[in-house]
Amino acid sequence: MEKGMEEGAHRKALAVARELLAMNFSPEQIAAITQLPLTEIPRE
């Protein structure tokens, strides 16, 4: 159950990252906000 919760949180962070990209935030800003590594920030 805990793994499922972690996966859900990760998916939510990726969704937020996509929204921030659409708002022209830089990948570095998005990484700081979402706590995702830069390598996981979508580039599109």
Q: Supply the pLDDT for residue 34.
A: 96
Tell me the Cα Rg of the chain: 11
For the stretch 1-44, pLDDT in tens is 787 888 999 999 999 999 999 999 999 999 999 999 999 998 86
Structural domain tally of the chain?
Answer: 1
Let me know: does 28 contact 38? Beta carbons within 8 Å.
Answer: yes
Q: Please, which residues have CB within 8 angstroms of residue 33's CB and are 6 or more apart in sequence?
A: 16, 20, 25
Q: Where in the sequence is the domain holding 32, given as residue range(s)?
A: 2-40
Q: Supply the pLDDT for residue 43.
A: 81
